[in-house]
């Protein structure tokens, strides 16, 4: 039997664009149509059905729920802010609170207002001023209901997918632009962190906890060859810890949010900067079970990364961890194994304070569409019926008791 601390945060995460539906003012909405990708359309209709979804989360004993605010709804045209949409999110928050669920709010989860992407974009140095203005509007209105803020979800995934690999909007493949985006996202985070704290102080509210959701993966050398070990070391330093080193140095994190899913087997074909950054083993040398997108299941990696995070002496929250699969038994095994890793890390002195499964609902998995099923709750995309999965019930027991049987 494994027991977690009594004040542990337990729950699940979603993001606005992936569940709400009809985010017509967001850049993704237009991009989906231009590229002919599967459209997000009504998604899970969570924009209308959130109260029922939170009933289910409450029945599953979640005490925390992470969700995001869609910037394109709040500011559909540059400088025009929508009170109605703000009130929608206020109602989302009050609906959670009335079910004794702590809301954790993400201010940016990959999507931007279409006007922002078309005329400004994150590669532009003034981008963070626009972001800050939006955050200011939202935070002032919601501050008294919120203790946990996440400024930006996975900056490294956003910039690599949108500006290096070019598979997400705005599909710009440029290292120079990617570097500018990295710098601008980092300073947008820092500016927002300071602004949030200033607003709470001004309003006489208790100090909130402001963090980031950092994507981390385990980089494992496929063979112990020096080239592979060096590449794994460098990737870990760049992708996993580069931004965290910077933000902790400048003191702009109250907690570290970690999104962890999988590992990457590093196998360098030859020496070169690109190879150091990208080469992976294609041979399936050390096969592990995979999710339906082919990502390997590697719970030990989470343990190793958590131990490395100890040096920052900050609370750590697992802000995402989950599996897309048609095998719900495997989903529970995945959750169980990762909770085990987290518990081992706790025993070794890592201050982990919460675990949020990705995701509460099946949802729109970006350029992969609706096929991947990450949810604790199944969505029928024709009738929008929700069905609670067996894994959700098992996880719910742990949420209720803090015990992993």
For binding to ligand FCB (CB under 6 A), which residues are involved?
15, 18, 153-154, 157, 215, 259, 320, 358, 365-366, 374
Spatial contact of 350 and 341, defined as CB atoms under 8 Å apart = no
Measured between alpha carbons, how far is residue 356 from residues 44, 57, 298, 321 in Å?
A: 19, 12, 18, 7
Q: Considering the complex, what minimum distance in angstroms separates the CB of residue 159 from ligand FCB? A: 13
* Smallest separation, CB 109 to ligand FCB (Å): 6
Least distance to ligand FCB, CB of residue 165, Å: 13
Q: CB-wise, 134 or 366, nearer to ligand FCB? A: 366
d(CA 363, CA 361): 6
C-alpha–C-alpha distance, residues 193 and 216, integer Å: 21
User: Which CA distances in Å does 44 have to 73, 361, 392?
Assistant: 17, 8, 18
Based on CB atoms, which residue is closest to ligand FCB, 53 or 320?
A: 320
Instruction: Say if residues 7 and 354 touch (Cβ distance below 8 Å).
Output: no
Choose between 15 and 23: whose C-beta lies nearer to ligand FCB.
Answer: 15
Measured from the CB of residue 66, what is the shortest distance to ligand FCB in angstroms? Answer: 10
Q: Which is nearer to ligand FCB, 150 or 178 (CB)?
A: 150
CB 49 within 8 A of CB 25: no
Pair type for strands 2-3 and 403-404? antiparallel
**Least distance CB 74 / ligand FCB (angstroms):** 19
In angstroms, give the least distance from the CB of 59 to ligand FCB. Answer: 24
Which pair of structure tokens corresponds to residue 76?
A: 């559909």
Q: Which is nearer to ligand FCB, 250 or 365 (CB)?
A: 365
Quick one: CA dihedral 174, 177, 181, 183, positive or negative?
Answer: positive
Q: How far is the CB of 372 from ligand FCB (least distance, A)?
A: 7
Considering the complex, state which of residue 213 and residue 265 has its C-beta at the smaller distance from ligand FCB: 213
DSSP for 82-141, please give it: -HHHHHHHHHHHHHHHHTT-EEEEEEESS--BHHHHHHT-TTSTTHHHHHHHHHHHHHHH
Provide Rg for the chain, Cα atoms.
20
Distance from CA of residue 157 to its chain's centroid?
A: 10
Beta-carbon contacts of 35 under 8 Å, excluding residues fewer than 6 positions away, are: none
Cα-Cα-Cα-Cα torsion 167, 247, 131, 361, nearest 10 degrees, comes to 60
Is 39 or 275 the residue whose CB approaches ligand FCB more closely? 39
Q: Cβ 20 to ligand FCB, closest distance in Å?
A: 13
Number of H helices, E strands in the chain: 15, 12
Q: Which is nearer to ligand FCB, 4 or 47 (CB)?
A: 47
Shortest Å distance, C-beta 243 to ligand FCB: 15
The smaller minimum CB distance to ligand FCB, of residues 15 and 240, is found at 15
């Amino acid at each position: 039997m494994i027991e977690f601390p009594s004040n542990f945060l337990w729950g699940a995460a979603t993001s606005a664009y992936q569940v709400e539906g009809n985010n017509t003012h967001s850049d993704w909405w237009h991009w989906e149509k231009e590229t002919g990708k599967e459209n997000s359309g009504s998604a899970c209709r969570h924009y209308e059905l959130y109260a029922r979804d939170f009933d289910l989360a409450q029945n599953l004993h979640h005490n925390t729920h992470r969700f995001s605010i869609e910037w394109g709804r709040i500011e559909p045209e540059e400088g025009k802010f929508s009170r109605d949409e703000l009130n929608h999110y206020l109602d989302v928050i009050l609906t959670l609170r009335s079910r004794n669920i702590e809301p954790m709010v993400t201010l940016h989860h990959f999507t931007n207002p279409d006007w922002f992407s078309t005329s400004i974009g994150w590669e532009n140095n003034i981008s963070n001023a626009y972001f800050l203005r939006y955050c200011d509007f939202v935070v002032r209105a919601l501050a008294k209901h919120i203790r946990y803020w996440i400024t930006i979800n996975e900056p490294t995934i956003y910039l690599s997918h949108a500006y290096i690999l070019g598979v997400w909007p705005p599909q710009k493949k440029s290292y120079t632009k990617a570097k500018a985006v990295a710098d601008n996202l980092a300073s947008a985070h820092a500016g927002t962190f300071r602004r949030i704290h200033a607003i709470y102080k001004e309003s006489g509210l208790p100090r909130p906890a402001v963090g980031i959701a950092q994507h981390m993966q385990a980089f494992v050398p496929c063979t112990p060859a020096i080239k592979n070990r060096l590449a794994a070391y460098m990737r870990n330093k760049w992708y996993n810890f580069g931004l965290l080193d910077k933000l902790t140095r400048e003191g702009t994190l109250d907690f570290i949010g970690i999104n962890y899913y999988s590992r990457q087997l590093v196998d360098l074909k030859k020496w070169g900067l690109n190879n150091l950054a990208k080469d992976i083993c294609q041979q399936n040398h050390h096969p592990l079970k995979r999710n339906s997108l082919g990502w390997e299941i590697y719970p030990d990696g989470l343990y190793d990364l958590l131990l490395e995070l100890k040096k920052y002496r900050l609370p750590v929250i697992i802000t995402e961890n989950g599996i897309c699969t048609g095998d719900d038994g495997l989903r529970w095994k995945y959750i169980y194994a990762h909770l085990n890793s987290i518990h081992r890390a706790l025993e070794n002195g890592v201050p982990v304070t919460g675990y949020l499964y990705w995701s509460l609902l099946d949802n729109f998995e970006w350029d992969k569409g609706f096929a991947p099923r990450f949810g604790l709750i199944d969505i029928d995309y024709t009738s929008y019926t929700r069905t609670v999965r067996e894994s959700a019930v098992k996880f719910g027991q742990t949420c209720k008791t803090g015990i992993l049987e």
